[in-house]
Structure 1
Amino acid sequence: MAKFTLYLVRHGQTYYNVFNKLQGWSNSPLTQQGIDDAVATGKRLKDIKFKAAYCSDLTRAQKTISLLFDQNETFNSITPIVSPFFREEFYGYFEGLNMDEVWYQAGAPHGAKTFAEIIDQYDMNVAKDFLKQADPFHTAENAEEYWHRLQQGLDLITSNPNIEDGDSVLLVSHGNTLLSLVDRFSQPGQFDLRTRPANGSITKLAVDGDQLTVTDYNK
């Protein structure tokens, strides 16, 4: 397995982001700001020669990566691998509902009234478990279900035989997924996970075989 840099980009702003709604596997279109986010990020990355690119199969991520590709000539020689493995966390019954109200329902029975308080008192995995518990249909992904899916995506990347030492690889995904990766692969307290990654932001991981280390967050 190779040693390479994985660039994680959050999709551009959507209307659900503006309305403070949980998006999960649901979709809303990119706003004009979201389109501008993606174009600006593409320009920031235009001089990087990516060996491979991956993307969530949700529409907002695919639209974002297409805008990134428009800004980078090196993408002419590669085709992004689109997979549901890279989707956002599935919020089940809470899809499309107000984010603050949902996290209150999930966390308040455990003494944490906001997402930030859940992260402060517990962690990202516990937040997922709380949400599934609060879901009246229990269809939201808990931590075990979420990581089983996402790990298949990470394995898809690290097992790519075309990626060599020193290469750069792109992944376009989602806010809570980026937070989850940073939480799992950074040192405790290294980054403030109460700050969500901005739309179009860049987070970088150093990949060494199956070992991942976060080197930059929300740039």
Structure 2
Amino acid sequence: MATEVYLVRHGETMFNQLNKVQGWSDSPLTVKGINDLKVTARNLSQVHFDKMYSSDLKRAIDTAHLIQDTNEVSVPSKMKKLPAFREVFFGSFEGDDIDQTWEKVAVAGGMKPERNVDKIIETLGFEKFRDATKKADPRHLAEDSKDLDERMNQAVEQLTKETKGLGRILIVSHGDFIKSLGLHYWKGAKNKEIIPFPENGSVARAVIHDNDKFEIVDYNVKSSELNNL
């Protein structure tokens, strides 16, 4: 039995609003974030989920509970947290200004200072971009491509085991992590280095097939477009 997965990015947070690197650090959902999530939740209120999950970071947990509380057709159950679905770890850069961080990453990758992350990824490639982030981190704690690939594989494997026999599930995760999944598993990705960064409250829809193959079939579906899924 195939399992349908609705993969939701959490709502806007204070760090998102302040243009700060967030990663494993946490900041609360903003008023805008909550209001935008209400649209997502309302448009998912008639979608039946056999189980709901979230990463173990509070912004994801709060998002998942808001969606669960609004849903009218799913049986309420205890929310299970899956740490493997937490955001990419940025090490010493967490809490720093995003633009200044990307400049340092670009230089570590052999480029001139550059603040446009898409240009950096297009120049270096996604794996080298991750490796440059770890290299630029003064303490070298940030996840590089190997670290992230291992955790992403673990996350997909765990989700596959967790959802055996379930028809449809929801899991709330994070922008960089969902984008990383998209680069690996979205069949609609035409450029394997550059795909859109998922919006807050957006949904990626995936299928775990009977042979345990994980495949993303819709990506970055905005809250206002969820009725088209």
Fold shared, TM-score > 0.5 on shorter chain:
yes
Cα distance in 2 between the residues matched to 1:124 and 1:52: 32
**What is the Cα deviation at residue 78 of structure 1?**
2.8
**What is the Cα deviation at residue 111 of structure 1?**
2.4
- How many residues are paired up? 216
CA distance 1:32–1:191, shift in 2 (3 Å) = farther
Cα distance in 2 between the residues matched to 1:180 and 1:161: 21
**What is the Cα deviation at residue 194 of structure 1?**
5.1
1:124 corresponds to: 126
SS across alignment from 2:75: helix
2:196 corresponds to: 195
Cα distance in 2 between the residues matched to 1:75 and 1:58: 23
**What is the Cα deviation at residue 159 of structure 1?**
1.0
**Which runs of no fewer than 5 residues in structure 1 stay unpaired?**
none
The Cα offsets for residues 117-174 of structure 1, whole Å up to 9 and x where unpaired, read as: 122224333221110011111011112112222322222211136534xx11111000
2:212 corresponds to: 210
The Cα offsets for residues 59-83 of structure 1, whole Å up to 9 and x where unpaired, read as: 1001101100111034434322102
2:159 corresponds to: 157
Q: Which moved more, 1:114-123 or 1:15-24?
A: 114-123
Structure-1-length-normalised TM-score = 0.90
Q: Which moved more, 1:170-179 or 1:185-194?
A: 185-194
Q: Note if contact 2:126-2:193 (Cα within 8 Å) is conserved in structure 1.
A: no
Q: How does 1:165-180 map to 2 (within 5 A)?
A: 167-180=167-180
Structure-2-length-normalised TM-score = 0.87
SS across alignment from 2:214: strand
1:53 corresponds to: 52
CA distance 1:191–1:48, shift in 2 (3 Å) = farther
SS across alignment from 2:6: strand
SS across alignment from 1:9: strand
CA distance 1:52–1:122, shift in 2 (3 Å) = farther
2:106 corresponds to: 107
Q: Percent identity?
A: 34
**Which runs of no fewer than 5 residues in structure 2 stay unpaired?**
222-229
CA distance 1:176–1:134, shift in 2 (3 Å) = same
Aligned AA (1:142): D
